[in-house]
Structure 1
Amino acid sequence: MASAVRAGSRLRRAAEGRELEALPQGLRDELRAALASEGSLVPFSLLRSLHAALRDAGSPLRLHELLEGSEIHLPEVPVPPRNPELVARLERIKARLANEEYRRMTRDVTGRETNGSLAEFGRQVRSVQAVVITIFNFLLTVVAAFACTYLGIQCVFAETAARVLSAVIVASVVGLAELYVMVRTLEGNRGKL
């Protein structure tokens, strides 16, 4: 905590000159001794006495005018020596926390390196498998629609060209309907891909 002021040029001039002649001789000598000391430190108690003496003497000088350019002296706080047991304990705790943080950061690195690639491979296989099944289902549906129409319309049309044409039309309509259903399903699953 501050207990002194490092005197500025204004306070020095006042102490050396005739501005403080109205003050008691003992107070002036004490102020000069403080200004002559190392660092020109003037204690707060002396400043309080100076302020009271200026007020009692009816001097036109004010303390804040005398302290212009002065700085509050903040003494350095002595740092107590650290307990070696405490320092060693703190170092052990820091090392343990650093190891835990390192393990947490690298926990998934080794596991995902082998399992991650296998998991990714499995995911890709399932995706390809779903696409192959969808294409197989589409082709099977179109071929089945064509065959059913070709064989089922045999009673109505005796000519082969008419039966093939009607089977192609029905297979195309079934194929377009199947494509429509696939596209709608893919749009619905787009967020899951």
Structure 2
Amino acid sequence: MATSFVIGDKFRGRVTDLLRQSGSSVPRELREELEAILKKQDPATLSFGTTRKLKKYLQDKGHPFYLHELLEDSSVHLPEVVKPPRNPELVARLEKIKTKLANEEYNRITRNVNTQEIHRNGALGDFGRQVRSVKAAVVTVFNFLVTVVATFACSYMGSQYLFTETTARVIAAVIAASVVGLAELYVLVRTMEGDLGKP
């Protein structure tokens, strides 16, 4: 926090003239402070307390120039902020807290990952599961085709006792195969829905 001004040449010149002209009318304490400041080499600083005293003196004596004119080429002195050394215990606690928070974040991100399952099954386990799934689908399609073809053949052969014409026998066989095919599809869809509904 600022507590003083770094004085410029204009301040030095005007205060020197003021001290010469005013003589003994300047209070002794203020005169000593101002002389001590003027004797300092750059950067010389003027405390806020001395500034207030000088301002009051100028107002009381009715001098033709004001404090802001004296401080035109001066600047506020901002001392360097000295950071206190950090407490080693506090640093150790902060590091421990950071580590704990990082671990909690990592655990939150990876809570859905099951490493045992990944190592147990691996790539070959996934491949075997996919092969079994494809095998079941192929068997189901093959079973469907065999059932429809067998139904068509049986209906065609059996309809010779009812129909003498080949066209009628084929139509009867197609109708029977369609009915059996639709029934197979219904059962297949219900089975797949049951499999998909399992957790």
1:51 — aligned with what? 55
Output the TM-score relative to the length of structure 2.
0.60
Q: What is the aligned residue count?
A: 174
Provide structure 1 residue ranges, at least 5 long, that are not aligned to the other structure: none
* Letter aligned with residue 130 of structure 1: S
Residues 147, 181 of structure 2: 8 Å contact kept: no
* SS of equivalent residue, structure 1 residue 5: strand
Match of 2:73 among 51, 69, 72: 69
1:7 and 2:7 are equivalent in the alignment: yes
User: Displacement, 1:137?
Assistant: 0.6
1:133 and 2:136 are equivalent in the alignment: yes
Alignment of 1:9-158 (within 5 A): 9-17=9-17, 21=21, 24-25=25-26, 26=28, 27-37=30-40, 39-76=43-80, 87=88, 90-91=91-92, 94=95, 98=99, 101=102, 112=115, 115-117=117-119, 118-157=121-160
The CA distance in 1 between the partners of 2:127 and 2:74, in whole Å, is 78
Residues 14, 20 of structure 1: 8 Å contact kept: no
Give CA deviations for 1:58-99 in whole Å, capped at 9, x if unaligned: 2332222222232222334555566xxx51574376368548
Residues 11, 66 of structure 1: 8 Å contact kept: yes
* Letter aligned with residue 87 of structure 1: P
Residues 8, 69 of structure 1: 8 Å contact kept: yes
What percentage of residue pairs aligned between the two structures are identical? 25
Query: Would the alpha carbon gap of residues 129 and 159 (structure 1) be closer, same or farther in structure 2, given more than 3 Å must change?
Result: farther
Tell me whether 11-20 or 35-44 shows the greater mean CA deviation: 11-20
The CA distance in 2 between the partners of 1:33 and 1:143, in whole Å, is 117
The CA distance in 1 between the partners of 2:64 and 2:133, in whole Å, is 100
Provide structure 2 residue ranges, at least 5 long, that are not aligned to the other structure: none
* Letter aligned with residue 134 of structure 1: A
User: Displacement, 1:11?
Assistant: 1.5
Residues 19, 31 of structure 2: 8 Å contact kept: no
Query: Would the alpha carbon gap of residues 47 and 99 (structure 1) be closer, same or farther in structure 2, given more than 3 Å must change?
Result: closer
The CA distance in 1 between the partners of 2:58 and 2:88, in whole Å, is 54
The CA distance in 2 between the partners of 1:135 and 1:2, in whole Å, is 87
Output the TM-score relative to the length of structure 1.
0.61
Residues 10, 68 of structure 1: 8 Å contact kept: yes
